[in-house]
Structure formats: structure tokens, C-alpha cells
Amino acid sequence: MARFLAPLLLAAASVHSQFIHNQLPVGSSFGVPNENATYDYVVVGGGTAGSVVAARLAQDGRFSVAVVEAGGFYELENGNRSVIPGYDFYSSGPTLAGVNPLIDWEFMTTPQAGGKNISIHYTRGRCLGGSSARNYMVYQRPTVGTMQRWADVVGDQSWTWENVLPYYKQSSTLTPPNTKLRMANTTTYYDASVFGKGPLQVGYSNYIAPFATWVNLGWKQAGDTIRTQGMQSGELLGHSILPSSLDAQSQERSSAQTSYINLAMKATQLTIYTHALAKRILFDSTKTATGVVVETRGLPFTISARREVILSAGAFNSPQLLMVSGVGPAATLQKYHIPVVRNAPGVGQNMEDNPFFAVNVAADLPTGSSYQNNPALFAQAIADYNSDRTGYLTSAGADIISFQKLSNRSELGISAHAKQALSWLPDDWPEAMFWSFAVWIGASFGSLPPDARNYGGIVGSITAPLSRGWVTINSSDTADLPIINPNMLTDPTDQEVAVATVRRIRDLLATDAMKAIAPEGEVFPGPNVTSFEDILSAIQGQYFTFAHASVTNKMGLSNDRMAVVDSKARVFGVNSLRVVDISAFPFLPPGQPQATVYMMGEKIADDILHGESGTSGHESQSMSS
């Protein structure tokens, strides 16, 4: 995580990406600002899910589709920092220092009760590709039990693992590790049969940190199992090396923009409006969504929809746009003199997220600290990347990832009350996640190492959080950022699991494998931090977010007053309006959600096309480069 520190920023421009050679479509691919226009479908938000839905609808050939995106192309507006895997942590720290407002919304949370009343920067992509252009790139799917619970909660068995696997497959293409370029210090397991030939490129970097070799051995010695089929086949418990949303040939980020939007613009009549801020959704007297008021550089215009408006603006902007358009908690709308189209108390509520925190060690082998402290070594990393796409900068950072149940380990001290609170979890749903990072994490996220030694960290995260946050509007204008309160680590059970996670990391550090490379042991929080209260205090002073905000427009049944959309992502109480993004999840699945956001986009696009055509099936036309 030291990759976003100043010494490395200075060198970023010297790394070459292939963006210029991708020959982006121009001209007719883009809408003209300040001119009213009409399309069959209007997709608000060109992020992860929005890109998928828009591309698939346009690709069908029968419909005109417009995408309204508040940002532009991240490759043009953020240089190579959103492209090169080794730079994926730039501008994603806890403050706005160094954040690029051209590709980030600059969201700040309210003071966090679970984090010593500190406000934190919440990274969200303001660009085509959305947060798939800003995330840590890990690609991983949930479990069979997770998706069965999803299907049961929303009352629709089309969401079971068996039924959504075809959408995971058709969204992605897996490229196996390049064994000629990739160091053989850790065996990589994967199941190629659960991938198809979809637009998103999923692959492995040409570098694994030496630190990961010892973490892998350590987890074996600590009693954790190896996932010999990887973590894409409906099982998670155990540890493995996960792939990234990465083009294996170029060793560059594969995002919803590079995979779906660019290809769709070349092959269809998809129209993109960039730097266009959606101001409100328009409804007629029958509560039917008819279009969107959009603004570019202060100039408003209207983009009308003959069939549907599809809201894909993300966990914060989607509920914000619903509320300013009259769909949301009535009291909130009335406070800002917004006419109520539908009183929907669940809009902006139910927020779930994954906090993370770390234990650090000083290591007797090269880590990310080596590159930070040695300009010549970092210059060599740049040369390696530019010459043959090898070395340190091909890695997005996370190497070994482990998912574990902790409540069944009595030595970790989880109370009977907390175990009862977690009893709803399916048997295959892990309670904690562990990432191996060969970098300093620190007493506060983004802090500098205390000295020039080599440091490594084990990151822990809660994967079944019970704390709930919210997002609400600050005015009736979407130009005013919403108020965001993730409210993480406020639930007592979450606090117990967090402390147990640190104790489990200490089990790992106590193994012979980890002692061999970190004989000094734990540096932070430190071996003297042992009581529940002291460990929790250390976590609360350090924790950050994986930026997995979700469920703020919850999918559910019509008799659930907090549900906002049905199982087809249609907004309750109005017509011709859907929400298709992570805000419409019924709950946050364990681990990294991006694969499931892609799946959701594919599934809802198929639902829409099925409804239009009267035909069924997962046989969506292949889209490949």
C-alpha cells in the first residue's frame, strides 16, 4: 500500500501503457451536450454494471441506448495511474491529499463512531468504468450458499449459483498464469471451466512477492486449507492466489470501460455522454420514468427514454438521484421541498461495507519497502514493466488471500452472543478475509514506515458485517455531494470478529514459516497489545474501507418496506425505472464484489431483452475483441 506515497508518484509518468494504441472510437460514439435527444434506453452511470447493461442492450441491435456519465476516460484524465496494476492504490487513501477530482468523486464520510470519530475519503470512480477503474482489481466470486440466500431473500430462484454461473462465465475470459515470466515461488490454482469468452479480461500478474511464499506456507502450518480449484467455483474457505481484472498480455487493468464500453462503441450505435451530470429523473403523471435532466458545464438538457431509464450510478449516487427525483424517504424529500413521487424509506439505507485493518511485521527479504527506499530499484521496476511487462509493477498488491470461519475457533474468544448473531450465515460463508501485502500498512492507513527496513502486512477484513450505514442528500441538487455514513465497526459482533481476526493473524505469524522471515515478530499493533479493548482500539485507530459500499437500494420482496427494487431490479411503486448496480444487492456477499456486479449487469440485461423479445436464455451474443 506504500504505492501511493510521494516517491513513487514522481516516477509514474515514465511507465508506458497501451491506451493510445487501442484506437478509441470517436465522433458518432458520443452525444452532443446541450441538445435534447431521445433513445430507447437511457443508462445513468457508465460504471461497472451500467457499462454491461448498456453494451448488451445496444449489442442486441434493436434498440438505441445512451449512457450518461459524469466523468470521462480515466486513461486520459489520470495518466497511467489507473492503468498500471502497481499504481492501483494511488489517490485511494483516507484523505483527499493527491486525489484527482477528474476521476474520483472526492467523497468524505461523516465522523465515524467506529473509527474514533475520524472522517475518511471514500474512493469512487467518476469515469467510464466507474469503480472498476479505481479498485484493487481482485476478481473473486461468492459461494453457492451465498447465492442461494440471495435467491431466497428476493423470492426468485433465478439468482441461485447454478442459475447465475452462466452470467459470470459470459462476462469474463480467464488467461492462465504465464509460467515463463511469472516466478514459480507459489503454485497458482484455478478452474478454467467456470470462465467463458466474455469481454472482461481476468488474469494473473507476472510477479508474486517473495513475502507471499512464506505466507502461503504459514497458512498451511496454521491449519488453513488450500483451495485447489481457486475461488471462482462457488467455494471460498481456504487460501489461494486470486486473479485480477487484468489483461494478461498487456499487464494493464481491464475495466468495464475497456472490456464493454470500448467494444460496444465499435460494434453498435451506443451513444456516450461524458462529463454529463444527471440532475433528476423525469416522471409523468402515471409515475413512469420518461427521461433524465442532464447538465454539462452548467448547460441543462433532457435525454428522454422511450422504454426505460436504468440507474447505475453506484451506492451513493443512485440513491441520491432517486431522492432528488422524488423517490425516497418522504421526510427527507419534504425537508428539501422535493415533490414526493413515491415514499420509499429504504432508499439510502441498509449500507454494508467491509472494513479492513492490518498487522505489520519487519521482514528479512525484499518487500515493497525495498522499492520505496531504493530509487534505483524502482527505476529497474519501471524498466522491467516497459520492456517486457514483468516485475513489481505488474502486481496489484494482493497475493495470497484466505477466507476463514472464526466463530468455530474457541481460542479466538468470540462470545456465544456473537456466534448467535452470525448463525444466519450459510455454512460456506466465511466471516473473515485475510490479504497478504508485501508493504507497510501502518498505525493509520497511508502512514509512512517508521524506518527503512522491509515491511510486510497481513490485512484482515470482516466478510459478514452486521453494522449498517446510510447515505442521504445534502440538498435537492446532485452537484452537492451526498452525506455518507458507512458506520462500520459499530456493531458489537463486528468488533468481536475484528479482534478475533487480529488474533488469527497472530496465529499465522507464530508459525515456523513466518518466523523464518520475520523473527522480530509483530511491529504493529505490537506484542504488548493483547487485551480485547487494546486490540479493538488499535483497529479503530487504523481501519479503512475496501470501498465495497452496497445495498443502499436493496433488492427484496414487495412486502419489505425497506426494499427498493424487485428481483428484476425494477423500482417499486414507479414504472420504467430500474436500479442496476451494487446499491441494488440484497446484501453484500463475502469478499470482493466486482465479479458479482458484472454478473448482475449481464443478468438484468438478459431479463430486459427476454421481456422485450419473448425469448429466453443465457445465449447472449458473444462480445470479444
Structure-derived torsion over alpha carbons of residues 155, 161, 162, 166, reported in degrees to the nearest 10: 110
According to DSSP, the residues that pair with 280 across neighbouring strands are 293
C-alpha cell at 534: 487494546
593 assigned ligand-binding residue: yes
292 assigned ligand-binding residue: no
Answer for the pair 98, 106: CB distance below 8 angstroms, yes or no. Answer: no
547 closest CA partner among 9, 17, 3, 48: 48
- From the candidates 21, 121, 548, 618, give the one annotated as an active-site residue: 548
C-alpha cell at 84: 498500471
H, E, C per residue of 557-574: CCCCCCCCECCCCEECCC
594 assigned ligand-binding residue: yes
- Please count the other Cβ atoms lying within 10 Å of the Cβ belonging to residue 44: 30
Cα separation, 316 vs 46, in Å, equals: 14
Cα separation, 96 vs 120, in Å, equals: 9
C-alpha cell at 401: 488471500
Q: What is the DSSP string of 201-230?
A: EEB--S---HHHHHHHHHHHHTTPPB-TTT
Residue 610 appears among annotated catalytic residues: no
C-alpha cell at 233: 467455483
138 assigned ligand-binding residue: yes
Non-local (6+) Cβ contacts of 11 within 8 A are 378, 379, 382
H, E, C per residue of 572-587: CCCECEEECCHHHCCC
Q: What is the DSSP string of 35-75?
A: S-EEEEEEEE--SHHHHHHHHHHHHTSS--EEEE-SSB-HH
- Please count the other Cβ atoms lying within 10 Å of the Cβ belonging to residue 223: 11
Answer for the pair 444, 423: CB distance below 8 angstroms, yes or no. Answer: no
According to DSSP, the residues that pair with 172 across neighbouring strands are 200
488 assigned ligand-binding residue: no
207 assigned ligand-binding residue: no
For 368-390, give one letter per residue: b (16+ CB within 10 A) or e: bbbbbbeeeebeebbebbeeebb
How deeply is 226 buried, as exposed, middle or buried, from its count of CB atoms within 10 A (0-12, 13-18, 19+)? middle
- Please count the other Cβ atoms lying within 10 Å of the Cβ belonging to residue 518: 23
Whether the CA torsion 65, 72, 261, 123 is positive or negative: it is negative
H, E, C per residue of 5-41: CHHHHCCHHHCCCCHHHHCCCCHHHECCCCCCEEEEE
* Residue in the structure block whose three cell numbers are 448482475: 600
H, E, C per residue of 514-548: HHHHCCCCEEECCCCCCCHHHHHHHHHHHCEECCC
Cα separation, 155 vs 147, in Å, equals: 12
Answer for the pair 475, 439: CB distance below 8 angstroms, yes or no. Answer: no
Non-local (6+) Cβ contacts of 247 within 8 A are 201, 203, 253, 254, 258
Which residues are designated catalytic? 548
Annotated binding residues: 135-138, 593-594
Annotated binding residues for FAD: 135-138, 593-594
